[in-house]
Amino acid sequence: MTKVRLKKRNVGIAVGCVIVVLVLIAGLFRWKQTLDYQKTFEYRLQKHGYSEEDTAYLIEHLENNELEELLKKEANENIPKFIQEDYYLKKNLDRYLSYYEQNPDKSLRDVVAIVNVRADEDWYSNPVEADVSQDNLLLVNKFHKLSKDYEAEDLEKVKNWYAYGDDPMLRKEAYDNFIALFNAAKEDGLTVIIASAYRDYQYQEDLYNGYLESLGQKETDDVAARPGFSEHQTGLTVDVTTYGANTDTFDTFEEFDWLQNHAHEYGFILRYPKDKEYITGYHYESWHYRYVGVEVATYIYEHDITFDEYYAYFIEGEK
Please report, as ranges, the residues that interact with Zn ion according to CB under 5 A. 239, 288
Return the number of the residue (71 or 207) whose C-beta is nearest Zn ion: 207
Environment class of residue 2 by beta-carbon count within 10 Å: exposed (0-12), middle (13-18) or buried (19+)? exposed
In angstroms, what is the minimal distance from the CB of 199 to Zn ion? 9
Return the number of the residue (95 or 288) whose C-beta is nearest Zn ion: 288
DSSP letter at 193? E
Return the number of the residue (41 or 150) whose C-beta is nearest Zn ion: 150
**Which of these, 139, 137, 98, 127, lies nearest to 115 by C-alpha position?**
98
C-beta separation of 152 from 234 below 8 A: yes
For 112, phi and psi rounded to 5 degrees?
-60, -45
In angstroms, what is the minimal distance from the CB of 170 to Zn ion? 13
In angstroms, what is the minimal distance from the CB of 290 to Zn ion? 9
Nearest-angstrom CA–CA distance, 196 and 162: 11
Nearest-angstrom CA–CA distance, 236 and 289: 9
Beta bridge partners of residue 155, listed in sequence order: 171
Return the number of the residue (83 or 300) whose C-beta is nearest Zn ion: 300
In angstroms, what is the minimal distance from the CB of 62 to Zn ion? 42
In angstroms, what is the minimal distance from the CB of 282 to Zn ion? 9
Note if 153 is an active site residue.
Answer: no
Return the number of the residue (79 or 270) whose C-beta is nearest Zn ion: 270
Residues 6 or more apart whose Cβ sits within 8 Å of residue 148: 201, 227, 228
Beta bridge partners of residue 156, listed in sequence order: 170
C-beta separation of 301 from 269 below 8 A: yes
The CA–CA distances, whole Å, from 102 to 81, 106, 113, 121, 160 equal 17, 10, 16, 13, 52
For 69, phi and psi rounded to 5 degrees?
-60, -45
Residues 6 or more apart whose Cβ sits within 8 Å of residue 314: none
Return the number of the residue (177 or 286) whose C-beta is nearest Zn ion: 286
* Marked catalytic residue, from 156, 231, 285, 309: 285
Q: Return the residue nearest Zn ion (CB atom).
A: 288
In angstroms, what is the minimal distance from the CB of 249 to Zn ion? 16
Nearest-angstrom CA–CA distance, 41 and 180: 56
Q: Which residues are catalytic?
A: 285
